[in-house]
Amino acid sequence: MSERSPYLASRLQGFGTTIFAEMSALADRTGAINLGQGFPDVDGPDVVKDAAIAAIRGGQNQYPPGSGIPELRHAIAEHQERFYGLEYDAETEVLVTTGATEAVAASLLALCEPGDEVVTFEPYYDSYAGCTAMAGAHRRVVTLRPPDYGFDPTQLAAATTARTRLVLLNSPHNPTGKVFSRDELACIAEHCVEHDLIAVTDEVYEHLVFDGEHLPLATFPGMRDRTVTISSGGKTFSFTGWKVGWICASAPLIDAVRTAKQFLTYVSGAPFQQGIAVGLGLDDAYFDAFTTDMRAKRDLLVAGLSDVGFDVFAPAGTYFVTTDIRALGEHDGMAFCRALPGRCGVVAVPSVVFYDDVEQGGPLVRFAFCKRLEVLEEAVARLKGLGS
Ligand SMILES: Cc1ncc(COP(=O)(O)O)c(C=O)c1O
């Protein structure tokens, strides 16, 4: 949260520059290893790149259709069927967006009346708070508590009121790396059905599950037609700068979200859409190797941070690991992260930015492990110098 801005509309007061921008700028300035922002340091598959390059050379450089190019919409529908047995009509039930970020923004803007309430789980990805505020809605949070980051169903019940419009869920979950279990998802699904709530699910880490499995909320009884399922190609294909995202939902929900989306970006990234369409059609070997590679990185960083003396919550998914710095005799994650580049040449993110409850998030620090193994080894070696 930042100081009051003289120009900023009241609904956005308190939202300063995102912590990722601040910390990545700090990494650039100091030459520190950036384990703050979640972007890989190697590009994704050449075939995906080549498809985008061919599309640029082939003249696909003007506005694509409002819902996305047909090749990508069909590839998304086939992906949902192949991995989860979920059937969507590529013409009416799939919408391509400018990353998952726009998908979340358009969903909240389209579905919420001013004064409505959005229930989400804390810690939460920072755009959820900003987009809820832009929609004129209010967020109500249910806290995920370590060590397993489970939630108390009575807190979910208490957070739900007559004004609740939707539940906004992220699994696999950033920043904790939690993968919601079948029982937890069944509980959330039953809650949505009982209270007639829409679910908006952010599944951008769907192919980064190391332990357990990813279960889309839309697969649970009564959820298919009340769930707006969001994902994107950024994480799955290591092209975070392309910002190709999508939504799968029933036709009436897609129509509503498209109405908001058309006035945000209208469309974007025509040639990149061709690339991601090819990516979604890659064989299982690609998806398996991607997960295996990232699992090895997780294992290295989790072991390394434990050796350094952090209290580490091993993530079941995503490419983030949360640590508690009290084990190092520290308390203030924000101060710790601001000082870390100077102390040892590593950048991390203070998890407090993901919390309303600053007591909960204060001593927690998030590290990203989507970096080459040698970079992670070097980061761990530098962090070992912390005490000296
Ligand atoms: C949970 C979550 N949702 C959405 C996004 C943004 O996705 P995109 O780059 O596709 O907009 C991120 C990126 O870090 C994320 O962690």
pLDDT band at 60 (very low <50, low <70, confident <90, very high): very high
- Asked if 52 and 43 touch (Cβ cutoff 8 Å), the reply is no
Nearest partner of 89 among 273, 252, 264, 271, judged by Cα: 252
Dump pLDDT digits (tens) for 120-177: 999 999 999 999 999 999 999 999 999 899 999 999 999 999 999 999 999 999 999 9
**Residue-level pLDDT at 17:** 78
The answer, as to whether pTM is greater than 0.85, is: yes
Q: Which residue minimizes the CA distance to atom 7 of ligand 1?
A: 100
Both tokens assigned to 374: 């040698």
- Is the shortest distance between the CB of 120 and ligand 1 below 6 Å? no
What's the rounded Cα separation, in Å, for the pair 198 and 10?
27
Dump pLDDT digits (tens) for 292-307: 999 999 999 999 999 9
- Is the shortest distance between the CB of 240 and ligand 1 below 6 Å? yes
Q: Which residue minimizes the CA distance to atom 13 of ligand 1?
A: 38
Dump pLDDT digits (tens) for 200-231: 999 999 999 999 999 999 999 999 999 999 99
- Is the shortest distance between the CB of 203 and ligand 1 below 6 Å? no
- How many whole angstroms from 339 Cα to the centroid of ligand 1? 26
Q: Which residue minimizes the CA distance to atom 10 of ligand 1?
A: 99
pLDDT band at 2 (very low <50, low <70, confident <90, very high): low
Residue percentage of the chain with pLDDT more than 70: 99
Atom of ligand 1 nearest to the CA of 173: 1
- How many whole angstroms from 136 Cα to the centroid of ligand 1? 22
- Is the shortest distance between the CB of 170 and ligand 1 below 6 Å? yes
Residue 388 has pLDDT above 80, yes or no: no
- Is the shortest distance between the CB of 38 and ligand 1 below 6 Å? yes
**Residue-level pLDDT at 27:** 87
- Asked if 169 and 200 touch (Cβ cutoff 8 Å), the reply is yes
Q: 3-state class of 197 per DSSP?
A: coil
- How many whole angstroms from 101 Cα to the centroid of ligand 1? 6
Average pLDDT, stretch 18-24?
Answer: 84
- Is the shortest distance between the CB of 174 and ligand 1 below 6 Å? yes
- Is the shortest distance between the CB of 319 and ligand 1 below 6 Å? no
Dump pLDDT digits (tens) for 320-350: 999 999 999 999 999 999 999 999 999 999 9
Residue percentage of the chain with pLDDT more than 90: 92
pLDDT band at 387 (very low <50, low <70, confident <90, very high): low
Atom of ligand 1 nearest to the CA of 244: 10
- Is the shortest distance between the CB of 142 and ligand 1 below 6 Å? no
The alpha-helical segments, DSSP class H, found in the chain are 19-30, 46-57, 70-84, 99-111, 126-134, 153-159, 182-195, 233-236, 251-261, 270-280, 284-308, 333-344, 358-361, 373-384
Q: Mean pLDDT score of the chain, rounded to an integer?
A: 96
- How many whole angstroms from 124 Cα to the centroid of ligand 1? 11
Dump pLDDT digits (tens) for 172-206: 999 999 999 999 999 999 999 999 999 999 999 99
Q: Is 213 exposed, middle or buried (0-12, 13-18, 19+ CB in 10 A)?
A: exposed
- Asked if 28 and 345 touch (Cβ cutoff 8 Å), the reply is no
- Is the shortest distance between the CB of 366 and ligand 1 below 6 Å? no
